[in-house]
């Protein structure tokens, strides 16, 4: 609000054309952000030649189900969607639980080497995933986890970002007096965590959950490395497999699949977007 | 889970040993242990093993054979590695530098009191980030096709078509556009949170002192935003060095991914060395070099950010 006053009082006020340019930029940016989603839908609902139409076709057609039928002929689309759903949910439940526990310990407990251990957790964020990918692959082979969901789930069950995120939130949102009161009443450590801390921090847990779900859902590199068998493919691998030149690129088919695969995430995001973005803007990097 | 319960029987029998303090320490260590256990197995051990592996010749099947620095020699004498290296840097620069500046501009626009529909804009700008990179790449590969929309627009402006899916620069432009599309809005949101954390009265008092908007930008906004700028550019740099999915999907039209020279990156190179050619030793050496480059660029990034911060500070004084 005070920015408004700031702008008005200024000698170099934006003026009408300034404002016009200002909104032009904002709206242009928004259009660029959204257009590919719309384009996905346009191509997915039109016939094969739609992509090469001159001038570009911009209207929604009625060929969606015909296109999508070809997807089902070429790939176990719903199987892949189910696989992604299963893996992402398992990882998310586990990440939220373990990261909340660890974040709670770092925020509310005193123990030797606490700071050093926390710095270590943060430091692991800089290490590129690819650095350890070969030995991790070998470990998976030794465990006979190649081509199994365990290879996707177990290494991802807890992560440094989540611990950092939950610690930030818990430090400010959970009053230490409340925990002490619980302890005086003789509650066990886990009971206090579960009954006193968790109810207060569910918004942060939900945000972490959604962010994590999207990350796992969209992961490509590691599933590509460990998954071999078609029935185990996650949706990302299945999508990539549709993109072949073997019989000419059928963009109508590809985009109907891409759109269907994007839709669930898009809906979830639009439902919870305020949470996600508010969470991102409040807890992201204050430390 | 019931970790704390485990400690109770001891607590009952040996009271002097399991004091309240000890018990709470054990609880804390139990709570943080999942991360450290999993990270040791799937993070720390693989990292050390990668360094070890980079000195061996190995195809993941037969016994390992010590070869010293030979893997590094092999990798650094492979022209494809150097192409992947320069591609990574070029696309990293093209995708990151304009993106961070654009995100900053967007954040300032979004933060301005003038803007209406702020929440809607924020959601729209964030939307690209939730899509999978595979989906993004597929969509953009149609837009960047030879007869695609981008070329149609270029022709409309009286320019020649660009071979976005086969030209040396075309491929790089296409791939860095995908990166920018996905991350600009996300970074704008991060910057926005930084802008929101700057107290308004700083601007009030600056205005009373007669500072104009530009002076306010350079002596209040940018210096106070510095931690956020460092965070965002560091994250973007690290992300750019690990570029894989976009080139892999965009150029891999046979469904098998691609190592085509126009778009091969260090991670694509690593991937094909290990999982297509079965050269785990040279792949490990590549991973080590990728790691060193990442550290180098992270440090460089910090130095530049710090240096530019000092400059604005100097101007102010």
Measured between alpha carbons, how far is residue B162 from residues A126, B84, B246 in Å? 37, 22, 19
pLDDT tens-digit map of A55-99 = 888 888 888 999 999 899 888 999 999 999 999 999 999 999 999
Using the predicted structure, report yes or no on whether residue B178 has a pLDDT greater than 90.
yes
Express as a percent the part of chain A with pLDDT over 90: 54
Residue B110 DSSP symbol:
H
Structure tokens at A77: 């689309």
- Any A CB within 8 A of B251 CB: no
pLDDT at residue A129, rounded to an integer: 81
Secondary element (H or E) of residue B164: none
Measured between alpha carbons, how far is residue A222 from residues A145, B21, B34, B36, B54 in Å? 13, 42, 21, 21, 21
Q: How far apart are CA A44 and CA A48, in angstroms?
A: 9
Does the N-terminal peptide bond of residue A115 adopt cis geometry, omega within 30 degrees of 0?
Answer: no
Contact at CB, B207 and A132, closer than 8 angstroms: no
Contact at CB, B196 and A281, closer than 8 angstroms: yes
Instruction: Identify the band that residue B212 occupies on the pLDDT scale cut at 50, 70 and 90.
Output: confident
- Nearest residue in chain B measured CA to CA from A130: B287
Looking at beta carbons, which residues of chain B come within 8 Å of A243? 138, 141, 249, 252-253, 255
Using the predicted structure, report yes or no on whether residue B180 has a pLDDT greater than 70.
yes
Contact at CB, B114 and A3, closer than 8 angstroms: yes
Q: How far apart are CA B249 and CA B137, in angstroms?
A: 7
Express as a percent the part of chain B with pLDDT over 70: 89
- Residue for token digits 């886990």? A190
Q: How far is B36 from chain A (nearest CA, A)?
A: 9
Structure tokens at B216: 């306010």
Contact at CB, A128 and B294, closer than 8 angstroms: yes
Query: Average pLDDT over chain A, rounded to whole?
Result: 87
- Residue B175 DSSP SS3: helix
- Nearest residue in chain A measured CA to CA from B192: A281
Q: How far is B261 from chain A (nearest CA, A)?
A: 19
Closest Cβ–Cβ partner in A32, A33, A188 for B5: A188
- What would the DSSP string read from start to end of B24-73? HHHHHHHHHHHHHHHHIIIIIHHHHHHHHHTTEE--SSSPPEE-TTHHHH
pLDDT tens-digit map of A135-185 = 999 999 999 999 999 999 999 999 999 999 899 889 988 888 888 888 888
Structure tokens at A128: 């590129």
pLDDT tens-digit map of A104-116 = 999 999 999 999 9
pLDDT at residue A246, rounded to an integer: 64
Most A-contacting residue of B6, B8, B119, B135 (CB-CB within 10 A), to test interface: B135
- Residue for token digits 């500046």? B101
ipTM of the complex: 0.85
Tell me whether residue A124 is exposed, middle or buried, using C-beta atoms within 10 angstroms of its C-beta: 0 to 12, 13 to 18, 19 or more: middle
Q: What are phi and psi of B292, to 5 degrees?
A: -60, -45
Q: How far is A277 from chain B (nearest CA, A)?
A: 8
Instruction: Identify the band that residue B134 occupies on the pLDDT scale cut at 50, 70 and 90.
Output: very high
Contact at CB, A244 and B255, closer than 8 angstroms: yes
Contact at CB, A3 and B112, closer than 8 angstroms: yes
- Residue B254 DSSP SS3: strand
Contact at CB, A36 and B128, closer than 8 angstroms: yes
Q: Give the mean pLDDT of B152-178.
A: 92
Using the predicted structure, report yes or no on whether residue B132 has a pLDDT greater than 50.
yes
């Amino acid at each position: 609000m005070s920015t408004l006053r700031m702008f008005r009082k200024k000698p170099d006020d934006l003026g009408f054309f300034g404002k016009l340019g200002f909104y032009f930029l904002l709206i242009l940016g928004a259009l660029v952000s959204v257009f590919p989603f719309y384009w996905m839908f346009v191509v997915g609902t039109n016939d094969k030649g739609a992509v090469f139409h001159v001038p570009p076709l911009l209207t929604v057609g009625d060929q969606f189900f015909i296109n999508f039928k070809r997807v089902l002929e070429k790939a176990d689309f719903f199987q892949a969607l189910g696989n992604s759903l299963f893996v992402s949910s398992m990882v998310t439940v586990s990440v939220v639980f373990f990261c909340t526990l660890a974040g709670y310990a770092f925020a509310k407990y005193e123990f030797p080497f606490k700071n050093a251990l926390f710095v270590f957790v943060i430091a692991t964020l800089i290490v590129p995933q690819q650095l350890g990918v070969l030995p991790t692959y070998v470990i998976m082979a030794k465990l006979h986890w190649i081509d199994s969901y365990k290879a996707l789930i177990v290494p991802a069950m807890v992560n440094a970002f989540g611990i950092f995120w939950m610690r930030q939130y818990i430090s400010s949102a959970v009053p230490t007096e409340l925990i002490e009161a619980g302890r005086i009443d003789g509650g066990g450590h886990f009971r206090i965590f579960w009954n006193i801390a968790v109810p207060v921090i569910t918004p942060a847990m939900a945000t972490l959950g959604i962010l994590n779900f999207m990350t796992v859902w969209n992961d490509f590199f590691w599933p590509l490395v460990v998954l071999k068998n078609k029935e185990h493919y996650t949706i990302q691998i299945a999508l990539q497999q549709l993109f072949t030149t073997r019989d000419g690129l059928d963009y109508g088919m590809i985009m109907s699949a891409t759109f269907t695969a994007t839709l669930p995430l898009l809906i979830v995001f639009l439902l919870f977007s305020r949470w996600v973005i508010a969470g991102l803007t409040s807890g992201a990097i204050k430390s | 889970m019931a970790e704390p319960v485990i400690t109770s029987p001891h607590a009952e029998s040996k009271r002097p040993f399991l004091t309240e303090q000890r018990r709470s320490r054990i609880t804390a260590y139990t709570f943080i242990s999942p991360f450290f256990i999993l990270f040791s197995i799937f993070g720390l051990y693989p990292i050390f093993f990668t360094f070890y592996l980079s000195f061996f010749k190995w195809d993941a099947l037969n016994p390992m054979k010590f070869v010293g620095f030979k893997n590094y020699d092999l990798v650094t004498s492979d022209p494809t590695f150097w192409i992947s290296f320069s591609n990574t840097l070029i696309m990293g620069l093209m995708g990151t530098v304009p993106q961070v500046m654009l995100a900053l501009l967007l954040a300032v626009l979004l933060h301005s009191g003038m803007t209406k529909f702020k929440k809607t804009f924020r959601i729209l700008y964030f939307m690209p980030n939730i899509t999978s990179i595979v989906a993004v790449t597929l969509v953009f590969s149609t837009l960047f096709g030879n007869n695609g929309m981008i070329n149609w627009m270029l022709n409309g402006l009286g320019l020649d078509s660009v071979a976005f899916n086969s030209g040396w620069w075309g491929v790089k432009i296409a791939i860095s556009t995908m990166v920018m599309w996905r991350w600009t809005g996300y970074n704008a949101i991060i910057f926005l949170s930084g802008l929101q954390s700057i107290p308004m009265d700083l601007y009030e008092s600056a205005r009373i002192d007669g500072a104009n908007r530009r002076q306010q930008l350079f002596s209040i906004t940018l210096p106070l935003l510095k931690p956020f700028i460092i965070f965002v550019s560091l994250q973007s740099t690290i992300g750019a060095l690990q570029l894989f999915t976009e080139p892999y999907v965009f150029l891999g039209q046979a469904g098998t991914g691609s190592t085509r020279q126009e778009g091969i990156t260090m991670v694509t190179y690593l991937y094909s060395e290990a999982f297509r050619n079965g050269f785990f030793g040279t792949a490990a050496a590549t991973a080590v070099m990728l790691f060193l480059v990442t550290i180098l660029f992270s440090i460089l990034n910090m130095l530049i950010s710090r240096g530019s911060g000092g400059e604005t500070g100097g101007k102010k004084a």
